[in-house]
Amino acid sequence: MSSLSADIAIDLGTSNTYIYVKGSGVACREPTVVAVHQSGRGERQVIGVGREAKAMLGRTPNDIQVIRPVRDGVIADFEITEALLRYLLKGVIGRGGMAGPRAMVCIPYGTTEVERRAMREVAESAGCRQVLLVEEPIAAAIGAGLDVGLPHGSMIVDVGGGTAEVSVISMSEIVYSKSLRVGGDQMDESLVQYFKKHEGILIGPRTSEEIKIRLGNAVPVDSVRDMWIRGRDVSTGYPKAVRVTTTQVNEALSECVQLIVEAVLGTIEKTPPELAADVVDMGIVMSGGGSLLRGLDRAISRATGVPVIRAEDPMSTVVHGSYLALQKTPRTQERAAGLKVHL
């Protein structure tokens, strides 16, 4: 049956879902968002998934909800997550296979057994024949090209939509890891609150994300850029437009950046001396969509005195590493995941 099904890897993230398919590479990059119509009797019907659903954020009537079913890397709504994953799998592997795919699904470090079981069951319910789990720091390190099997310290900083994980890995095991609820979504929310307080304008998540992408920087910049944003006046409720600058955006994001920097410093302090020396020699590797914030690598490097390297394709590093882990032997998979693998 395995010869009739595809090998896939799934990164079911808070903000985006990536699916890597054998022979095709990253075949799916979709927002982890689902639009649901709720009838008067409480019945829910999915009417949009991914980009289609994200386009509805803040623009729907009362009987339509736009749901993010994954929170901080774990499943918050099992039924909606299953519908999302089933739809995405159908798009990348179709319905014609005689057997479901064998899948490696990544999970945040430190998840409970209940959360792990939920992730495995939702993937099986969505059509996967066999589900293995790998922890995100391990997957990110493998995807970034680090040889995690050596007795050598490697540090990976994975900044996703909901969380940032700072981990030191040696011999395919996580020696120390610190996770904090700071990621792309928290940066967006910081911008919403900043401009509400300082400019008296209320903006939505799509606008705050656009501001972050266009003007966001983790360190002060010499050249000040600006853009116009539109929202609702807090005091009058009328439409309002204001000009925002890179200086304001940097100030709004400074707390999130500082929390990530402090997590890296704290992890280095908790790392055994020999492994910490390896990190200083080899540098720190960054992955995840949040690592694309301009200057974040420089902010970490300045604080630690250690070179910081951003992975070649930060957003798909985890799913690529998950797929590479799937190709290893069952025993290696088990060590990489830190979980019991049933074959």
Distance from C-alpha of 34 to C-alpha of 137, rounded to nearest angstrom = 27
* Per CATH, domain 184-252 is 3.40.50.300: no
Binning pLDDT at 50, 70 and 90, where does residue 94 land?
confident
CATH fit for domain 152-182+257-315, picks 3.40.50.300, 3.30.420.40, 3.40.605.10, 1.20.190.20: 3.30.420.40
- DSSP codes, 22-85: TTTEEEEEEES-EEEEE-TTS-EEEEEETHHHHTTTT---TTEEEE--EETTEES-HHHHHHHH
Percent of the chain with pLDDT over 90: 77
Determine what percent of the chain falls in helix, strand and coil, rounding each to the nearest 5. 40, 30, 30
Same-fold call for 2-32+68-138+318-337 versus 152-182+257-315: yes
Map out the domains of the chain as residue ranges: 2-32+68-138+318-337, 152-182+257-315, 184-252
Look at residue 5 in the predicted model and tell me its pLDDT. Answer: 63
pLDDT in tens, 197-213: 999 999 998 899 999 99
The mean pLDDT of the chain is: 90
Query: Per-residue pLDDT averaged across 65-70, rounded?
Result: 93
Which of 148-152, 194-198, 333-337 shows the highest mean pLDDT? 194-198
Q: 7: part of which helix (H) or strand (E)?
A: strand 7-12
Instruction: Note the pLDDT tens digit of each residue in 245-256.
Output: 999 999 999 999
CA distances from 98 to 75, 89, 275 (A): 28, 14, 47
Please tell me the CATH code under which domain 2-32+68-138+318-337 is placed.
3.30.420.40
